[in-house]
Amino acid sequence: MPSTPPSTPRKRRASGPVSAPVSAPVSGPLARLTPAPLATDANGRPVVDVRGPRFAAAVTTAVLATAVIVQGSVGLALLTWQWAAFALSAIAGLAWSPYGRVFRALKRRGHLGPPPATEPAAGPRFAQACGLVVTTIALVLHLAGATTAGWVAAGAVLALSALLATTGLCIGCELFVVAQRVRTRFGKAGAGAGADADRSSRTDRSSRTDRSSRTDRLERARRGQDVEVAPEQLAVVGLDLDGADVGALLFSGGGCSACAQVKAQLDELRPQLAASGRRLRWAEVDAATHLDLAQRLRVLRVPTLVVLDPHGRVVARRAGAVRREALRAMLDDARGARVV
């Protein structure tokens, strides 16, 4: 009679919840090549230090200036390198930007302090895509034998990069804001394209009435009459003036570095106003998302700061960047200010 092999004892399963297996961390050269993901805001959108795009623009300016000056094979090699840097940033994301990685490395080593403010990464990434398009045109012109036109295209990117590096004005980011507004407006128009003729007629009449009403409201504002924002409209953008002495709406957009600076100044001034007995409540409003409110309040650019009294009436307005002292004066004088 054959003997049966001894049975292998079963391992007892541990009681309690079973955790998912943890994958081994990436090691070796791949770990050094893979960048850390960007930080995100409360809505999960990637954000970057406002100084990062200006640092990248400064390096881009140096690279392209050298390329335009020396030209030849060395200049063409530098132009190709800059094209590759734009491609990495635009296609793979700003986390892969070679200049951005240098900037973050300097921050880790303590050469730079904490960020004064952050901004959404979408605008700077769009600007990198614009740079990729123009440098692609420049390289194609070089390959076609039109070297002069190629260097003119490279010089255009050089000029815009120098503008961003020296002033903080990002033309590509501003184009991104415009594109967002156009997409929002055409998206709303396309949503009602399938309505029948009768409904379209009623919609057109209603739209003309709304535009006329909005024009009347803006005209009253120009004459100095108060424009009031209802509590329901403020609730949509997350602002509650109950118990506040002064309120504010900061209209911003993606890639707006000046918006981030005004936002940081409001955060700094809130406790100072509270110490002097004035409670400030404010909310950041995406101008492209809340287009109706932006049009009603005459928001033509970002950033635009609209100051409200406790009843939601507009008492002051300021477009563009604002100094901290001027912002404090606006909030201090909000109670008795007139529409501007």
Residues 161 and 231 in one domain: no
Residues 45 and 159 in one domain: yes
Task: Assess contact for 221 and 281: CB atoms under 8 A.
Answer: no
55 against 43, higher pLDDT: 55
Q: Indicate the pLDDT class of residue 149, thresholds 50, 70 and 90.
A: very high
The tokens 């081994």 sit on which residue? 24
Residue 114 domain boundaries: 35-177
Does 17 fall in a domain?
A: no
Residue 17 has a pLDDT of 39
Does 21 fall in a domain?
A: no
Residues 172 and 231 in one domain: no
Residue 23 has a pLDDT of 40
pLDDT, mean of residues 319-330: 85
What CATH number does the domain containing 242 carry? 3.40.30.10
pLDDT digits (tens, 9 = 90+) for 207-227: 555 555 555 544 444 433 357
Other beta carbons within 10 angstroms of residue 34's beta carbon come to 11
Residues 169 and 233 in one domain: no
Residues 248 and 152 in one domain: no
Residues 230 and 319 in one domain: yes
pLDDT, mean of residues 300-315: 87
Identity of the highest mean pLDDT range in 15-24, 38-47, 319-328 = 319-328
Residues 134 and 261 in one domain: no
pLDDT, mean of residues 143-170: 91
DSSP state of 281: E
Residues 270 and 147 in one domain: no
pLDDT digits (tens, 9 = 90+) for 98-108: 998 888 888 88
Does 202 fall in a domain?
A: no
Task: Tell me the average pLDDT of the chain.
Answer: 78
Residue 147 has a pLDDT of 92
Residues 160 and 290 in one domain: no
Helix, strand and coil percent figures for the chain, each rounded to 5 = 55, 10, 35
Domain count, the chain: 2
Angle of helix 72-87 relative to helix 51-70, nearest 10 degrees? Answer: 160
Flag whether pLDDT at 201 surpasses 50: yes
Does 271 fall in a domain?
A: yes
The encoded tokens of residue 309 equal: 């009294």
Residues 160 and 233 in one domain: no
pTM given for the model: 0.52
Flag whether pLDDT at 263 surpasses 70: yes
Residues 39 and 133 in one domain: yes
| Residue-by-residue DSSP string for 49-76 | ETHHHHHHHHHHHHHHHHHHHH-HHHHH
Residues 287 and 172 in one domain: no
Task: Assess contact for 38 and 95: CB atoms under 8 A.
Answer: yes
